[in-house]
Structure 1
Amino acid sequence: MSVELDIHADITRESVKLHQPDLVIAPFLNRVVPEDIWRSSVAGCALRIDRQD
């Protein structure tokens, strides 16, 4: 599991690229999730749950 703060769209994109999560959760959704992230993931951002193989 990886937890990342969604402070800027570019930081979020970098984190999603690095961790390649199966699921992205945005519990507070204080701003719009970048389209390229929600189209390639199963939700939003803020807490990312990664596959533990």
Structure 2
Amino acid sequence: MIKKSKGLKAKFIDNTKFKISSFQEYLAEDASKIILKMFNGIKKARRDYKNE
């Protein structure tokens, strides 16, 4: 689910809305890697925004 961030004034993705268990076999592995990278990027963007 995509929500509006008050601090960044941009959209971010709520990580509680993902159900990786619905994927099967190799798709689950790929999805978990991609989603993890995406959330790490979001965390970094928020941290950089706070530092500015």
| Higher RCO (CA < 8 A, seq sep 6+) | 1
| Structure with higher helix content | 2
